Amino acid sequence: MCGVINIHKKNFTTNFVSSIRHKLVPSERSRTSYLRYVRDSQSTSSLGSCGSWLILLIVFLLSGCTSLVQKGGEVLDGSVFAEKTLAVYRAAGANAKTAIEVKGLKLKNGEEILEISGGAWPGLAIRGSMPEPDGSFSLREARFLSSHTHGWNEFTMDIFGSAIFLNQDPATGILRIMGDVERVEISSGKIRLKSSYITGAAAMTSLRNRRERITALTGWMNERLHDGSHDDGHETPAFADIGEFEGYWKRMLFPELVSGKNRPEEYSVHNAEWKREDSVRWNLGYTGTVFQEGLWEYRNSGAMLRDWEEALPWIFMEYSWNMIINSFNNTVLQKVK
């Protein structure tokens, strides 16, 4: 008979935390140098202009160390040390770097949760409650990090769903997702774009607006793939990776940016009207022919291209949501910690 997930609470420091602490050593040295400078400056006034140069050098070093603690889109304000891993189950026979994992975590406030991550979606983690005696638990939030050339989007999105995790034996469990998992709305987030770092209400408003645009786009994608107007049948392609997804859709969304031989049939420059935005001349006739009216301004203004360039992994995630959930379902996992 199957039993409930067997999670044993352990206090230990993860390799990730150890590696971060190791990277923070330069920052600690910089602070030590600064304190030594302050002490010496109090005992002598002979430093003069040399002291000013030393301060500038220390500021430069501290700025360099700051980039270390912002690695992966997370500012290490201490929250990285606030979660303790209680147990780890990993998909049997899978590569450790890409395997689906279920972790038992203890948060700083004492709450214990389950986290589902891995597979083909390295930037996504789904969190839920700890299992009830029958193994059932609720799915509460999805955490996602979408990076791009000039920064990243990081957010937590409320979700609604249920799952079950049962032990087949003390070292093996099976994860089942019970039905659809509904995405609700973004509840918090942060944005890094070049030198700008946006948090709080401003970030949440920007992220929610972007998600509204992205879901309108992915909704159109799915409608187009199911209305028989494409050449690949009536089923949504299960893209193996983001590269396939980009290759399939970029030529259709932005034919102005691809070579002539790769442009779709609907694209024509004959008697076309044009609109220049962000250094791109958009073919208004193509927009009107291919896209639904609600997306015309989105494409012709260049906003669709900006979202594509700054949030492609996010677009891929929203488009593939049901496939992601299905990939977690009925996964057999082995306890590794």
With beta carbons less than 8 A apart as the criterion, state whether 310 and 150 touch: yes
- pLDDT value of residue 154: 97
Pairing of strands 84-91, 331-335: antiparallel
Please give the Cα distance from 274 to 26 (Å, whole number). 54
Mean pLDDT is lowest, of 64-68, 107-111, 321-325, for: 64-68
Comparison of pLDDT for 100 and 44, the residue scoring more: 100
pLDDT band at 5 (very low <50, low <70, confident <90, very high): very low
DSSP string for 23-83: HTHHHHHHHHHHHHHHHHHHH-STTHHHHHHHHHHHHHHHHHHHHHTTGGG---SSGGGS-
pLDDT category at 204 given cuts 50, 70, 90 is very high
Taking the CB of residue 202, how many other CB atoms lie within 10 A of it? Answer: 10
Quick check: 252 pLDDT over 70?
A: yes
Reply yes or no on whether the pLDDT at 225 is more than 80.
no
Which letter does DSSP use for residue 99 in this model?
-
Region 246-268: what's the mean pLDDT? 92
For the cut 70, the answer to whether the pLDDT of residue 184 exceeds it is yes
Q: Which helix (H) or strand (E) holds 14?
A: none
Local confidence band at 34 (pLDDT 50, 70, 90 cut-offs): very low
Instruction: Work out the average pLDDT over 284-294.
Output: 96
Percent of the chain with pLDDT over 90: 59
- Cα radius of gyration rounded to whole Å, the chain: 25
pTM above 0.85, yes or no: no
Average pLDDT of the chain is 79
CB atoms within 10 A of CB 58: 15
Mean pLDDT of 256-283: 91
CA atoms within 13 A on the CB side of 101: 20
Q: How many residues does the chain have?
A: 337
